[in-house]
Amino acid sequence: MSWFESLVLGLVQGLTEFLPISSSAHLRLTAAFSGWEDPGAAFTAITQIGTETAVLIYFRKDIANILSAWFRSLVNKEMRGDHDAQMGWLVIVGSIPIGVLGVTLKDQIEGPFRDLRLTATMLIVMGIVLGVADRLAARDEAGGKHRAPKQRKTLEQLSVRDGLIFGVCQAMALIPGVSRSGATISGGLLMGYRREAAARYSFLLAIPAVLASGGYELKDAMEGGHVSWGPTIFATIIAFVVGYAVIAWFMKFISTKSFMPFVWYRIILGVVLIVLVSMGVLSPHAAESAG
């Protein structure tokens, strides 16, 4: 991997990780359209450590409160009813699905799941799901001529059941094209949560999964020696800087705006990709030589 490739891929990772458009799909497509080798699952996982570091810094107060309350609740029964302590357990519970599936489906994630036809299908399908969820949320918030606005749930109302459903949605992002934030936010909106609540829990829920995945791939890469360390570290730093800016923008955007621009973008990109593969312009396995 060249330094220019790492710069571009780092920018793509930072720009797309927190938007509901699938960072793994965009890394894959960037390599395919540029004629580069597939950066591979290891590169994706390691650069995600950079974007996840941005989450740790942006939500540092929330994370500090959750960790403090959770650790105190282990020895103090009175703390177990505290919202922050419960959030600690709910993040753990919500991380179980992706932990189990990430290990059991590792070969598929690094192989068949990287087929561009599957990526295109997931871009379209999850785009439609996000669009439906967004419309339902907008209807509740706006009300109607004969219907009062409906109060949507906040994170204070998050239950173990809902946490697990969020976790299952997050696990779907193991398939390129789904999008971690897109799947979890869609799941949250369909369960009746506010946009900001769904997005905030989505980002918090991603922390254990991404750090564990990045650490696992980092260990594997160090043992196998198949990663270009200089460019990969450079891409990770770029992803961190850009990712932090995107988080700050996105959290403000969703408080007043619809997700529909992302919905249409996903659908159009998926359709274009299917057309290109069907016409033979792009191979469904393009840029897989390093995957």
Q: What is the pLDDT of residues 129-158, one digit of tens each?
A: 999 999 999 988 877 666 678 889 999 999
User: Full-prediction pTM beyond 0.85?
Assistant: yes
pLDDT category at 291 given cuts 50, 70, 90 is very low
On whether residue 85 sits in a domain, the answer given is yes
On whether residue 290 sits in a domain, the answer given is no
What is the number of domains present in the chain? 1
On whether residue 284 sits in a domain, the answer given is no
Q: Following DSSP, what letter does each residue of 209-251 receive, concatenated?
A: HHHHHHHHHHHHHHHH--S-HHHHHHHHHHHHHHHHHHHHHHH
Q: Can you give the residue range of the structural domain that contains 210?
A: 3-279
| Structure confidence at residue 203 (pLDDT) | 93
Each residue's pLDDT tens digit, 191-234:
999 999 999 999 999 999 888 877 777 777 676 666 678 888 99
Distance CA 128, CA 267 (A): 8
| Structure confidence at residue 127 (pLDDT) | 96
How far CA 261 is from CA of 11, 142, 186, 210, 222, in Å, comes to: 20, 19, 15, 26, 40
On whether residue 119 sits in a domain, the answer given is yes
On whether residue 10 sits in a domain, the answer given is yes
The neighbouring-strand residues paired with 193 are 153
pLDDT category at 289 given cuts 50, 70, 90 is very low
Residue recorded with tokens 């990109």: 269
On whether residue 252 sits in a domain, the answer given is yes
Mean pLDDT, rounded, of the chain: 88
Average pLDDT over residues 119-130: 96
On whether residue 131 sits in a domain, the answer given is yes
On whether residue 291 sits in a domain, the answer given is no
CA-nearest of 238, 134, 267, 109 to 189 is: 134
